[in-house]
Amino acid sequence: MRHPADFPLADPFALPPLVSSSADPTTSTSPLVAAQAAPLTAIVAQDQGGVRLDQFWMGQAEDLGVARSRIQSWIKNGLALINGSPCLRPGRRLAPGDRLELRAAVPSPGLTPENRELRVLYHDDDLAILNKPADLVVHPAPGLNRGTLVHRLLHHFPELAGKQAGGMDTARPGIVHRLDKDTTGLLAVALNEPARLRLASAFAAREVEKVYLALVHGRPRAEGVVDAPIGRHPTSKTRMAVTEKGGKPAHSAYRVLWTAPEDRFSLVQVRIASGRTHQIRVHMRHVGHPLLGDPTYCPASFTGWQDEVPGLSALLRRPMLHAWKLGLPHPRTHQPLSFVLPPPKDMLRVILAGSRTTQRVGLTGMPGCGKSLFLAELAALGLQTWSADKAVAELYQPRRDGWELLRRNFGDRFIPDPEGPVDKHALLNALRETPRLRRELEALIHPLARHHLESFWQTHRTHRVAAAEVPLLLETGWPSDFDLIVGLACDPDRRRNWLLTNRGWDANLLADVESWQWPEAKKIRACHLVVANPGTRDELARRARGLVDVLQWLRRQAVRRVLARITALVTPEQASDSNPA
C-alpha cells in the first residue's frame, strides 16, 4: 500500500458528477440527476436552447453507452416528458429551462464479482486509488455485463455490494469518474455512499486535479489551451467532435515535456477542466496533433513516418494516453491527497522505439590511411556504407549532374568529347596549378555530393547504423550530417610510401593533395573516435569489429539517456507543473 503525499493542490479541475435521484433538480449542479436504475431527469441549460430532444438525451446519457436509435425509440413510445407532458417527437427543439424526464433507463444487470487482478495503490475505509490497465472497461453498459473493472471491484471490495453501500448505484458502485477502455492510470473509487457523494461534490466544485500524459504526433507549440465544446460527431455515432452547436463546454491545457528526434512525436501533459468523452483525443486532434495509436481520431496522413521505425507500429496497440496525476480531498477528513503514477511500459517502449534514428558514422583520414579498406570491412559486417569518392565518380559519368556542370562551366576543357568521359588527368593538373579553380570546382561538386549523401541516409533510414567515407568531411563543413566522426590514423611514412608505390604518386602530387586538407594532427583531434590502422588486413578487420561493438554500446547508452530523461520528467519528484522540463 502506498500512502499519498500531503500537499495542497493547485488549479484543480473536475468532471460534473452524477447525483442521487432524490436531489432537487432545481438546485442540482449537474443536468443529469438520476442514473440507470431510475428515470433520468434534467433541466435544459441556457446554452442548450434549440437542441433536439434526442440529441440532448444522447449527450446526457453518453456514459450509459445507449445508442441514439434506442433513445429515439423511447421517445416515440411516450417515455420522454417535457415539463410533465409526454413528447413523441425526437426532433422537438428544446427551450432553456425546460424540465425533462426520460423514464426508460438502462436496466442495471446483476453483477457477479470476478476474482481478477486489481492494482490498488492506496485504500482506506472510504477511498481506493487504482492503477487501471489498458483494455479494461470501467463499468457495465448495454451488451457488456461482465469483465469490467466494476466486476473486479466487487470481488476485492465486497462492501460495495453490502448494506454499507447505502443507495449506491448498483451498476456502477463507487465510480465517480471514468477512464476510456484503453487509457491507463489513476482512478479514484468511493467505497461507500457518503464517500461517493462527497467525492461527487468535490468533482463538481473543481476540487479535483487531473493531469494526463499523452504521446502526440509532431511538435505542438510549447504550451496551449483548447477551449472548444465537444459533442457527438455529426456523421459517426461512435465518435466525438468539436461542435459549434449542441456540444458541452470542454477545456484542456497542455504543455510539451519532450519531443522525439526529427519532431516525430511529443510527450505532453494535459490538464483537463472538464471530463467529456474522448476529450483529450478530440482536442489534440483539433489542434493538429492527434495521439499516437489512436485509430479513431488520427488520420492516416499523420502515421506515415511510423512505418520507417522498425517495430513501432506493432507497439501502438492503443491511444497513448495515461492518467498521470490525481489530486483530491479525502472524502472523510478533507485532507488533500495527491498521487503520481509514471506511465506504463508500453508507453515507454513506444517512446524508446520511436526515438530511434540511424546512427550516422563519418569516416575520414589522410590520403593513403586505409579508409576505403576499412569501409569495406564495415560493409562486410553488415553496415550500410557510402563513399564520397565513388559518389563523385558517378557524378562525372557522361550526362550525369557533375558531368553537365563541368561541360556547362568549362566547355570542352575537361570533356573534349561531347559524349565522352571527364579527362580526370587534365582536371587534376588544373586543380594543382590554379587554387581558384579548385575552390570553384568544389563549390559546384560538393553540393551534389552532399545531396547524394542525404539520399543515402534517406534510403537507409530504417537501419540502426550506416557509415560514410568522406576524405574532406571536416574541411567541407559537413560534421552536422553525422552523429559520430571516426578518424583512421596511420603511420605517416607507411601511408606515404604506399601512395608512392601503389598509386604512382610523386612527392609533388602528394604534397599538393595533402595541402588541400587539414594537417593530420588537427584532423585526428577533431574526430570523436580514432582507429589506428595496424598495417595488416586481418588486424584492420579486427579493428572494424571493435568499432561495431563500440557503436552498439553508444546506441545503448543513447537509449538509456532517453529513458533517464523521460523518467526524470514523469517521476513524483520532478513532476511539478511549477518547474517543467
Helix (H) or strand (E) run with residue 565 in it: helix 537-570
Mean pLDDT in residue range 112-133: 96
Residue 135: pLDDT above 80?
yes
Q: Taking the complete model, does pTM exceed 0.85, yes or no?
A: no
Residue 105: pLDDT above 70?
no
Tell me phi and psi for residue 194, to 5 degrees. -60, -40
Give span(s): CATH 3.10.290.10, the chain: 40-102
Q: What is the pLDDT of residues 222-240, one digit of tens each?
A: 999 999 999 988 888 778 9
The label of the residue with cell 470542454 reads 250
Mean pLDDT in residue range 473-477: 93
What does the radius of gyration of the chain's CA atoms come to, in whole angstroms? Answer: 34
Give span(s): CATH 3.30.2350.10, the chain: 177-344
Residues near 529 by beta carbon (within 8 Å), at least 6 away in sequence: 484, 485, 486, 487, 547, 550
Q: What's the mean per-residue pLDDT of the chain?
A: 87
Q: CATH code for 177-344?
A: 3.30.2350.10
Q: What is the pLDDT of residues 435-471, one digit of tens each?
A: 999 999 999 999 999 999 999 999 999 999 999 999 9
pLDDT of residue 167: 56
User: What architecture is domain 359-559?
Assistant: 3-Layer(aba) Sandwich (3.40)
Q: CATH code for 40-102?
A: 3.10.290.10
The pLDDT-based confidence of 25 (bands split at 50, 70, 90) is very low
- What gap in Å lies between CA 537 and CA 550, rounded to an integer? 20
Mean pLDDT in residue range 254-279: 94
pLDDT of residue 166: 55
Residues forming the active site:
180
- What gap in Å lies between CA 45 and CA 97, rounded to an integer? 6
Mean pLDDT in residue range 569-576: 69
Give span(s): CATH 3.40.50.300, the chain: 359-559
- What gap in Å lies between CA 240 and CA 233, rounded to an integer? 5
Ramachandran region, residue 394 (left: φ > 0; alpha: ψ -120 to 50; beta: rest): alpha
